Amino acid sequence: MMQWNLQFFAEKTEQPTARRRSEARRKGQVATSHDLTAAVGFLAEDYCRHCGKP
């Protein structure tokens, strides 16, 4: 049986430092409007399936 490392799924305990945030921005690791659009589409589809509508 496969064992899971539960810390992989755990919440972060501390906020990222300013240096890490600036490095992430420099590398392009920020949420974009494309990510937001995909998330909204997923939530809308899930809502429609839950309500039984096509």
- pLDDT confidence of residue 40: 93
- pLDDT grade, residue 50 (50/70/90)? confident
Burial 1-24 (b: 16+ CB within 10 A, else e): eeeeeeeeeeeeeeeeeeeeeeee
Q: What is the pLDDT of residues 9-45, one digit of tens each?
A: 778 788 889 999 899 889 988 777 888 899 999 999 9
- pLDDT confidence of residue 32: 78
Domain boundaries, the chain: 18-54
Whether residue 54 is predicted with pLDDT greater than 70 in this model: the reply is: no
Model pTM score: 0.39
